[in-house]
């Protein structure tokens, strides 16, 4: 992703943040396509490359887009509130994943 950021910096300054977020998320939806052709290292590398390119396109613009809605001096509070659902989702995913592993993953007997 860092390599893509170097090349995409001029794009970030030229285009609107909302448009770059939309384009990046659309590109991300195409990332699993190489996996349809088989699970091997090359297809996995294509998957990683597509996701990295798309994230380098949209990730820096999320903060810019978020800051467009804030009042001066309230950027940190607003950014924290917009990121809160992600952290709550991670916590819920951990709890549900632990429950599913504990109750539905077969015990391996040696």
Q: Are residues 54 and 89 in the same domain?
A: no
CA proximity to 12, closest of 69, 76, 4: 4
CB 1, CB 56: distance < 8 Å = yes
Domains held by the chain: number: 2
What average pLDDT does range 38-42 have in this prediction? 91
Lowest mean pLDDT among 4-13, 23-32, 53-62, 68-77: 68-77
Q: Are residues 26 and 51 in the same domain?
A: yes
Q: Are residues 59 and 28 in the same domain?
A: yes
What average pLDDT does range 11-33 have in this prediction? 92
Q: Which residue range is the domain that position 31 belongs to?
A: 1-68
Q: Are residues 52 and 95 in the same domain?
A: no
Q: Are residues 52 and 86 in the same domain?
A: no
Q: Are residues 61 and 101 in the same domain?
A: no
Q: Are residues 18 and 59 in the same domain?
A: yes
**pLDDT for residue 110:** 65
């Amino acid at each position: 992703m860092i390599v893509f950021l170097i090349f995409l910096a001029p794009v970030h300054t030229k285009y609107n943040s909302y448009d770059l977020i939309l384009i990046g998320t659309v590109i991300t939806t195409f990332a699993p396509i190489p996996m349809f052709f088989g699970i091997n290292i090359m297809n996995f590398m294509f998957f990683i490359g597509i996701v990295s390119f798309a994230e380098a396109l949209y990730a820096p613009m999320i903060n810019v887009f978020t800051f467009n809605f804030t009042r001066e001096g309230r950027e940190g509070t607003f950014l924290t509130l917009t990121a809160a659902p992600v952290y709550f989702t991670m916590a819920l995913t951990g709890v549900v994943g632990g429950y599913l592993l504990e109750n539905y993953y077969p015990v391996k007997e040696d």
